[in-house]
Amino acid sequence: MVTRRRFITASFQLALGLSLSAYLPPVRGKQLGTAPAAGSLEPNIYLKVLPNNEVHFWVKKAEMGQHVHTALTQIAMDELGADLKQVRVHMADTRSPFSNIFTGASWSIPGHWVPLRQLMANARFLLESAAAQIWQCPKEQCLAIAGEVVHQLGGQRLSFGELVSVARQLSAVDNAPLRPSKDYQYIGTNMGRLDTNQIVTGQAQYAADLSVDNMLCASIVHPPLPGYKLKGWDISRLKADPRLYKQVELVALENALAIVCQHQWPALVAKDKIDVVWESPTDTAVDDVWLQQQMEYALAQPGIVCRQQESVIQSSDAHTFSAEYYLPFVAHVPMEPPVALASVFENRAEVWAPTQTASQAQSEIAQFLNLDADNVVVHTTLIGGGFGRKLKNDFVMDAVRISQKLKRPIKLQWTRENDIKNGFLRPYGKDRVQVALDERGYPSNLDIKAASPSILAKTDHQHFKNGLDWSAVMGLRSIPYHVPNLRLSHQLIDLPQVNLVAWRGTFANHHCFAIESLMDELAYLARQDPLEYRLKLLQADTKVEHFLDSDIEIEHKKLKRVLTKVADMMQWKTRKQASQPGTGLGIACHCYDTHAYAAHIVEVEVAGQNIKVKKVACAFDVGVAINPDGVRAQLEGSIVFGLSSALYNEIHFENGAIRESNFHDHPVLRHHEMPEIDIHLFTDGDTPAGVGECGLPSVSPALTNAIFDASGIRVRSLPVKLV
Amino acid sequence: MATITVNNQPIEVDDNDQTPLLWLVREKLQLTGTKFGCGQGLCGACTLLVNDSAVRACITPVSSVLGQSITTIEGLSEQGEHPLQKAWLEHRVPQCGYCQSGQIMSAAALLKVDAHPNRETIKSHMTGNICRCGTYSRITDAIESVVQSDLTER
């Protein structure tokens, strides 16, 4: 039946000449793939080649702006020898054979680099062998390139589609030789997102843009902090607007109150006219003072050692230095507030959501609804910014709960206030540093005790080893500088009162801020150039650090190379010597666990309390750049994200709730504050590093080191406050 | 009843409708390129044009634009051939993409009042549009390239 709404929509689109399919609601029960399986070549779970010459490619990584669909397509189609024009890229849903649909930890590209190429090389082997069989020639004379297999002597060509029927009959191989890198057509080429055209014409569909038949829209009121129960609500203010009141329906959940309506706007308005009463799980009012008390208590505990080394060289003199470096709680604030569409039926459920963890969502939903996981389908939509926030499916479960109660499809739209006040945060953390210095001013003993809550469940045995939270010491245990006597430890803060999750690099940010600020402070005490001081402490070529049962390999020469390069980019030496009061340069570097190396120099002007970031330079060793422009985009984004958090971002707790609510009291970096950016990539390695996170941690200390250079004010706590 | 024009199509609306324009275009007209970001006119994700001015659709009641002409991202050009859209492609601006329709509409409004803004003007005009992925410098470059090619063609 064509409803009036549909009719209006359709006529609009026709008038605009747009593709109607872009607006159609998601199709329920759609099987994997868009074409019948019969007659196609399906050599692995990523790939389907059709007789009509279409190549379908499934990815299990969510696209959230990191251009992962583009980069994975570049890798796969280069190895296969396809033409990108024939390729259709699909986001796998939970019906697909992929075991864990998860996106995070900067691991999508490093994790796919070898296995994906091997699978595609095996598939190419079948297509080339099929051509060899048809042409009755040795396979070595057949090469797949740009969607065809070409006879290297005779020049005959057969398209992939024409080869499918023969290739299907051949036995699979599992170790076909990989294509030599000199033959790459796509890897190493600058590409935008494959769907950029849809984005700039407003046709790209995010979860909020979807609708299904019989759907209702919802908003939601959350408790101030986790653990609260819904006790009651007062709707007198809502009733004062009878027209609004009769449009909405309230749905009580155990720990939230939902407002449901035919349309989104009344649900959002009604939400602010309801006074909800909560039952607190505890008498403790969580506030900033209480949280700092927890921090101090933790730092007074012995902690668990994550790395220790001792040398016979003991410091003989009494030169010591101590300091504390602090990072606050911060929110992610992606431009797309959390949103999810859930259809819960008698014995199955289907969900569309911008989740970084679709498989996790599937099991959470199945458990909640008491269904087999096979009867729960989760579609990962485009993600309008993730940064770690959308690793959590709390907003998805909200939509599922409402849909279960009403037995109708529900699209739940969180507001920005829901996002900031009731979402998940990156934890706060403090590193307490004590150093003994030798006669030249270099550290002979270094003791860092870190304290923070965990982003993991204690039942996560993969990451908790011997009581130590592996994720909480990322960037700490891998400290690259040579110190003869070293003791690094961490003390966990038990904090069930606050919802916590990863945030682009998470604790690498805390520890990089501490270590790189420290290096700057020690260089100043030693009256040495901060760059030279660092280079002195990076002597060995490759250093292998032992951590529990795994080794971390840090290539000092790579770290030295990015430091030296970024210094050249900013004429560090000459400009440091000629620096004027009120202007400053600061340097910092970072090596991430995914074998990427970053160095930043920030140039600032400081006048009173005003800080102007004039320029940021970044040298970055990515090993292999699949999409160099995409790597640059991630580094540009890291600079903006890093400056935002260093200058502005902080979540405060008062009276058992989060104070901040929207962009007026939670500012982020805006366009007019944008510094000039200069980026250099090193791409001469043999493995691509993950790039989503490594470019972030050293931005903050480079900034605060620059502020010190300009003003003499040492910032040891973020966000920066000059008083 | 009253009429507003959306992407050159007349639309009948209730002349006392307090619903923000955002929800009219997104829900009734299914023009979902205009995004919900903050609901308070603070982030610019919902930017569209009323006549030739950039307006935050999330805080603009339908009743305040009666008789006026509204352009959303879907109506900016037929097939994405507006110079700004082409520049966005050429400079590979979008990361997550969610804020980009608002960014493009703000840029379009700027070029309507000032066809040749300099870099600083571009940056200050665009400051009402937040991007968390960090595409600001590419947005500046993309707008500047449109300005430059217009100057070259003169």
Answer yes or no: do B92 and A383 touch at CB < 8 A: no
Residue contact A65–B133, C-beta within 8 A: yes
The confidence score (pLDDT) of residue A22 equals 30
Euclidean distance between CA atoms A459 and B123, whole angstroms: 48
Residues 6+ apart with CB under 8 A from B110: B54, B117, B121, B122, B125, B126, B143
Q: What is the mean pLDDT of residues B69-83?
A: 96
Could you tell me the pLDDT band of residue A549, with boundaries at 50, 70 and 90? low
Would you say residue A547 has pLDDT above 80?
Answer: no
- Considering the segment(s) A36-200 as one domain, its CATH architecture is 2-Layer Sandwich (3.30)
- Which one of A8, A196, A662 has the shortest CB-CB distance to B42? A662
Over residues A61-90, the mean pLDDT reads 97
Binned at pLDDT 50, 70 and 90, residue A458 comes out as: low
CB contact under 8 A, A637 and B95: yes
pLDDT tens-digit map of A606-665: 999 999 999 999 999 999 999 999 999 999 999 999 999 999 999 999 999 999 999 999
Q: Is the pLDDT of residue A16 over 60?
A: no
The CB density around residue A115, as the number of other CB atoms within 10 Å, is: 11
Is the per-residue pLDDT at A386 higher than 70?
A: yes
Residue with the two structure tokens 């979402």: A423
Q: A63 CA to chain B: closest CA distance, Å?
A: 8
Q: Is A261 on the interface with B (CB under 8 A)?
A: no
Question: A117 with A86: CB under 8 angstroms?
Answer: no
Q: A290-328+424-711: same fold as A207-280+338-413?
A: yes
The three-class DSSP label of residue A188 is coil
CB atoms within 10 A of CB A214: 9
Name residue A538's amino acid: L
Q: Are A263 and B27 in contact (CB under 8 A)?
A: yes
Q: Which ipTM did the prediction report?
A: 0.98
pLDDT digits (tens, 9 = 90+) for A119-146: 999 999 999 999 999 999 999 999 999 9
Retrieve residue B12's tokens: 């009948």
Q: Give which of A453, A414, A429, A255 is closest to A334, Cα–Cα.
A: A414
- On whether any CB of chain A is under 8 Å from the CB of B108, the answer is no
CA B47 to CA B35: how far, in whole Å? 8
Q: What structural domains does chain B harbor?
A: 2-74 (3.10.20.30), 83-153 (1.10.150.120)
Rounded-to-integer distance, Cα B89 and Cα B81, Å: 10
Residues of chain B in contact with residue A332, where contact means CB-CB under 8 angstroms, are 132
Closest chain B residue by Cα to residue A631? B95
CATH number of the domain at A207-280+338-413, out of 1.25.40.10, 3.40.718.10, 3.40.640.10, 3.30.365.10? Answer: 3.30.365.10
Contact A671 B135 (CB under 8 A): no
d(CA A65, CA A80): 25
Q: Supply the pLDDT for residue A35.
A: 44
Residue B86 has pLDDT above 70, yes or no: yes
How many Cα atoms sit within 13 Å of A223 on the Cβ side? 22
What residue spans define the domains of chain A?
36-200, 207-280+338-413, 290-328+424-711
Instruction: Give pLDDT, residue A310.
Output: 83
Give yes or no for residue A722 having a pLDDT over 80.
yes
Burial of A242 (0-12, 13-18, 19+ CB in 10 A): exposed
Which pLDDT does position A461 carry in this prediction?
67
What's the CA gap between A497 and A280, in Å, rounded? Answer: 11
CA separation for the pair A375, A378 (Å, rounded) = 10
Q: How many CB atoms lie within 10 A of CB A717?
A: 15
Residue numbers in A near B146 (CB within 8 A): none
Q: What is the pLDDT of residues B89-132, one digit of tens each?
A: 999 999 999 999 999 999 999 999 999 999 999 999 999 999 99
The answer on pLDDT for B33 being more than 80 is yes
Residue A465's pLDDT is 77
Beta bridge partners of A275: A234
- Which architecture does CATH list for A290-328+424-711? 2-Layer Sandwich (3.30)
pLDDT in tens, A304-313: 998 888 876 5
On whether any CB of chain B is under 8 Å from the CB of A52, the answer is: no
Residue A294 has pLDDT above 70, yes or no: yes
B3 in A contact zone (CB under 8 Å): no
CA distances to A269, A396, A661 from A218, rounded to whole Å, are 11, 12, 20
Judged by phi (left if over 0) then psi (alpha if -120 to 50, else beta), residue A582 lies in: left
Question: Between A9, A66, A203, which is nearest B33 by CB?
Answer: A203
How far does A642 lie from chain B, in Å, by closest CA?
Answer: 10
Interface residue A642 vs chain B (CB under 8 A): no
